[in-house]
Amino acid sequence: MDEKDVVWKSTLDGRYTVTVTRVGPYHGELTVSEGDQFLHREAVGLMYDAKFGPDAADVIDWKRIAMDVVDSHNSSSR
């Protein structure tokens, strides 16, 4: 993955990395990982092609997806 293709990246709960990477015009891929382990991969849209950075509505959606993945992962590992 080329860093210039990263549209948005965040850390959740200090241990999960959430990354959205541009894969084509108006299309991205969201990944959630814990260290080197991928927990989730999902196609997402990029509003306005994220030309000037991610749209706030997209970020809200991406955070919700990431929180759902992490919550599901934590409840299944108990």
Q: What are the pLDDT digits (tens) for 39-65?
A: 999 999 999 999 999 999 999 999 999
Q: Let me know: does 50 contact 7? Beta carbons within 8 Å.
A: yes
What's the domain range around 48? 3-76
Domain count, the chain: 1
* pTM of the model as a whole: 0.90
Q: Please list, in sequence order, all residues whose beta carbon lies within 8 angstroms of the beta carbon of residue 62, skipping any fewer than 6 positions away.
A: 8, 18, 20, 30, 44, 54
Flag whether pLDDT at 4 surpasses 90. no
